[in-house]
A and B are shown apart, each in its own frame.
Chain A
Amino acid sequence: MSEIIILADVNNNELKESTAEVVTAALSLGNNPIVVVPGTSPEAAANIAANYEGVGSVIALQSDCFATYDSAAWAEAIASVSPPGHLLTSSTSRGKELAARLAASRSATVVQDVIEIDGNTISHPIYSGKAHEKLALSGPSVMTIRSNVFKPAGSGGSATITNVNSSSDLRTTLKEMVAKASEKLDVSEADIIISGGRGMGTPENFEKLYNVANILGAAVGASRAAVDTWEEIPHSMQVGQTGKTVNPSLYIAVGISGAIQHLAGMRTSKYIVAINKDGTAPIFRHADYGIIATWEEALPLLEQELGSLLG
């Protein structure tokens, strides 16, 4: 018989909440999915997984190889305990990489970023979301589930847990872990830009923009008022008629009023988010998503949300 297997999203023995969403996705393919929980000591995470409603059984997969990330070793260990059938995991960068490897080792097809499952039909975005593709599955597949699409499974289940030890050789060596550095990207190169204006109050407050930028891999820009007022903000960061013209997928304007000369440099951005305390600021007329709030309130929340989604 063919099983439904879920690879839990675990980092440092901690179970990520996205796993509960993958459980829901798995339940639309069949009953009693098996959750594989990898870790150097996976017991606690396995207990949480066993409580998700609908889970059939849990394999707590202990291996020293899970101390550092090595896709080949992880995939080998996970493959060794995963029976044939559909295999699902979260659409994180590691999840996608492991899914691709596991698919190859199972001679199955891998489909990334699934947003809909209906029997043996699944959908996922292609062309950067400019189209959706609906696929028919004619055999076991491996898929990653996009986060925030499926409702997380409730708790209250009590699946049995089996402990398995495995070992697999690391193919890579971790030499050093470098804490998140604020690598300064130029606005003209970035696909995402977060810009600050005079409303940021002081140049030091631009640090808050860098915090968000680091999570998104974004560049930090500025309005002319900010560049003119504070010598710490260089002209190279200026967006607008007498600054740089940019065309990112996402432009986040913080404490910027939206003067015509600023708009001239960024209005073709695919999506514009504005954060401004003044609901009548002209920037809101151009924003796809406007948040009427001070940056003091909005930026910490933005950092937190993005961090938990992408970090």
Chain B
Amino acid sequence: MVEIVVLVKQVPDTNAKIEIKDGRADLSMIKWITSPYDEYALEVALQHKEAVGGSVTALTLGPARCDKTLKDAKALGVDKIARVDVSEGYIDSFSVQSMLAEACRSMGAEVVYCGKAAADTNAGSTGPGVAQKLGWASIANVTKIVFGDNSLELMQPAPEGQAKVGVDLPALITCDKGMGEPRRANVKGIMMAKRAVVDLIDVGSFEGNTSVLEHTSPPQKPPGKSYEGSEHVPEVVKLLRDEANVI
């Protein structure tokens, strides 16, 4: 029986326009969703249980609105749902990692799955940070997993191509797409989830060393630009990265 924990985060809808009001992103009218890569992490966690048995807990850190994300996970078939209760607003990465690591430890986690990056921070910091706090191995951006009794075999991108890597539990895995489309909830699952109780976990508080001064809108998308000749390709690649932020 493996104790599986999956970290899920509630984030603003990735299609939403982010308005800035008084130097802060205004999230008051935002629709909240489960961070897309966390849906893959959930799928992997459920596949792990189906392959070798175990218990899956979906864990989040956030205010009460995040219970929706936990109930959605419950509807998919996780066994337990738990939340570290914090108030609305910025939480420094050090605090996030410390609190989630404490929570995983208190639940007796043997394997932790999370998304490769959250859709709001785009950071990819939490998984490796939690692994370090726990003193565990971690493998990032995993696209395929074969589940063993006490070990995993994973595919991970490497500069040379794809690395097939083996690891013994305990381990933390950050998930990319690749393990198949995340399953959808059925009616029975949704009904069960309605009655599910969220475990509130208290892990104390941690003080990080950053604070937000302000949020700003990035420079507007400029009108289309045309370049004559292939010698401009490097310039366009740079713009795709730094102006458009799409690669």
Contact = CB atoms under 8 A, between A and B. Distances in A.
Interface of A: 11, 68-72, 75, 93, 96-105, 107-113, 121, 125-141, 146-149, 171-181, 189, 192, 216, 249-250, 270-271, 273, 279, 284-294, 297-298, 301-302, 305-306, 309-311
Contacts of B230: 291, 293-294, 297-298, 301
B232 interface: yes
17 contacts: A93-B141, A96-B128, A101-B131, A102-B132, A104-B130, A109-B92, A128-B245, A133-B215, A176-B163, A180-B161, A279-B228, A284-B224, A284-B226, A291-B236, A292-B226, A292-B227, A306-B237
Interface stretch (B11-19, B55-63, B102-110): B11-19
B137 interface: yes
B212 interface: yes
A216 B240 CA distance: 12
B228 A302 contact: no
Main SS of chain B's interface residues?
Answer: mixed
B210 A175 contact: no
Interface in B132-188: 132-133, 136-141, 153, 155, 157-167, 171, 177
Interface residues of B, number: 82
Interface string B29-54: 00000000000000000000000000
Nearest to B239: A289
A55 B34 CA distance: 44
B141 to A, nearest CB: 6
A297 B229 CA distance: 9
Task: Kindly name the residue among B120, B166, B237 whose own CB sees the greatest number of chain A CB atoms within 10 A.
Answer: B237
Contacts, number: 264
B65 interface: no
Nearest to A189: B177
Given A136-B213, A171-B167, A284-B224, A105 B132 contact: yes
B161 to A, nearest CB: 4
B122 interface: yes
Contacts of B140: 71, 93, 97
A289 B228 contact: no
A174 to B, nearest CB: 6
A173 to B, nearest CB: 5
A146 B127 CA distance: 20
Nearest to A16: B159
Contact of B216 (A111, A132, A179): A132
Interface in B198-246: 208-218, 221-222, 224-234, 236-242, 244-246
Contacts of B240: 250, 271, 273, 289
Contacts of B94: 103-104, 107-110
Given A289-B227, A292-B229, A125 B210 contact: no
B226 A279 contact: yes
Given A109-B92, A173-B165, A133 B129 contact: no
A134 B246 contact: no
Given A107-B94, A177-B160, A93 B210 contact: no
Contacts of A127: 12, 18, 25, 119-120, 122
Contacts of B233: 291, 293, 298, 301-302, 305
Given A129-B245, A291-B236, A309-B247, A110 B93 contact: yes
Interface string B98-128: 0001000000000000000001111111111
Given A131-B18, A294-B230, 7 more contacts: A129-B245, A137-B209, A172-B165, A172-B166, A174-B164, A289-B225, A301-B234
